[in-house]
């Protein structure tokens, strides 16, 4: 089996043309016609991840985040991106990323995974790209759905913390109304806050809010910032399940390395 067969399968679920303009998903390093030995799945790609792939005899790393977002003018190892790319090339390890295209699909997407973890039903894309559909489904950013029951805000935050295995979370002022309708977006999601308010969500779960952006909740919604890595951590399991259920002639491994660059005291 060659690498391109895995790429084609993943793109049948989340086509590469569904990625955002700023993104750089797809095959970044490697020969698409190379025979697959084993596959390592990760959220990010670092030198440690490449070393782990070597140890597991993997010649393909499938990550959510691309290691390269913008053009590299030099390859002299001056930063972690260059060092990682150099190490992958020297080790003959291909690097493939499935990023905002996986964010933007409903079925088997990043946001569906989060919604299932916290127990949402009647889910739909929060902000569809109305001009694009995939097997009849809307494509777009974020997700919105409902809980089985009303939660008091503090009760729901504890539920969120437990279901997403969070060490901590940041949130705006708790409002005096129950939580039933939940909007969410894996990764950086400030751009969907107003859409969440417009659709009468009681809480918006995402990451990477800046200080002044918390004020934009405007006592209309609760913002729960759970962290970028934390919001997307289960994407590793998602991709692993897709690959392992489809292909049986090689081993697929979830990384055991925590690539979150943020530490908590």
User: For residue 5, what are the contacts with CB-CB under 8 A and spacing of at least 6?
Assistant: 36
User: For residue 86, what are the contacts with CB-CB under 8 A and spacing of at least 6?
Assistant: 75, 77
Token pair in block for residue 151 = 């939660």
Residue 135's pLDDT band (boundaries 50, 70, 90)?
Answer: confident
CA-closest candidate to residue 61, choices 86, 36, 33, 90? 36
Burial of 148 (0-12, 13-18, 19+ CB in 10 A): exposed
Instruction: Say what the pTM is.
Output: 0.95
CA torsion, ordered 97, 102, 103, 108, to nearest 10 deg: -140
Residue 73's pLDDT band (boundaries 50, 70, 90)?
Answer: confident
Residue 64's pLDDT band (boundaries 50, 70, 90)?
Answer: very high
Residue 238's pLDDT band (boundaries 50, 70, 90)?
Answer: very high
Token pair in block for residue 229 = 């890595």
Burial of 102 (0-12, 13-18, 19+ CB in 10 A): buried
What would the mean pLDDT of 238-265 be, rounded to a whole number? 96
CB 137 within 8 Å of CB 103:
no
Residue 70's pLDDT band (boundaries 50, 70, 90)?
Answer: confident
pLDDT of residue 241: 97
CA-closest candidate to residue 228, choices 185, 168, 171, 188? 188
**What gap in Å lies between CA 94 and CA 34, rounded to an integer?**
9
Q: Where do the DSSP E strands lie in the chain?
A: 26-29, 39-42, 60-63, 94-97, 121-134, 137-151, 170-171, 179-188, 203-207, 222-225, 252-254
- The mean predicted confidence, pLDDT, of the chain is 96
Length of the chain: 265
């Amino acid at each position: 089996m060659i690498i391109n067969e895995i790429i084609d399968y993943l793109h049948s679920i989340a086509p590469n043309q569904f990625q955002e303009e700023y993104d750089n998903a797809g095959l970044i390093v490697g020969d698409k016609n190379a025979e697959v030995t084993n596959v390592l799945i990760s959220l990010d790609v670092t030198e440690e991840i490449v070393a782990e792939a070597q140890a597991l005899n993997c010649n393909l790393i499938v990550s959510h985040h691309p290691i390269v977002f913008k053009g590299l003018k030099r390859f002299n190892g001056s930063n972690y991106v260059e060092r990682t790319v150099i190490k992958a090339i020297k080790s003959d390890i291909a690097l493939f990323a499935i990023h905002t295209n996986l964010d933007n699909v409903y079925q088997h997407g990043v946001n569906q995974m989060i919604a299932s973890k916290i127990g949402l039903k009647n889910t739909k894309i929060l902000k569809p790209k109305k001009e694009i559909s995939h097997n009849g489904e809307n494509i777009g950013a974020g997700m919105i759905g409902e809980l089985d029951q009303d939660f008091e805000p503090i009760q729901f935050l504890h539920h969120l913390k437990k279901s997403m295995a969070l060490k901590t979370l940041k949130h705006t002022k708790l409002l005096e109304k129950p939580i039933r309708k939940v909007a969410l977006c894996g990764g950086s999601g400030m751009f969907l806050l107003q859409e969440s308010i417009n659709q009468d969500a009681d809480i918006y779960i995402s990451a990477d809010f800046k200080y002044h952006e918390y004020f934009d909740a405007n006592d209309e919604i609760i913002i729960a910032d759970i962290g970028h890595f934390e919001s997307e951590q289960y994407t590793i399991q998602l991709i692993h399940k897709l690959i392992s259920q489809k292909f049986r002639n090689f081993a697929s491994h979830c990384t055991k390395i925590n690539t979150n660059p943020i530490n908590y005291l």
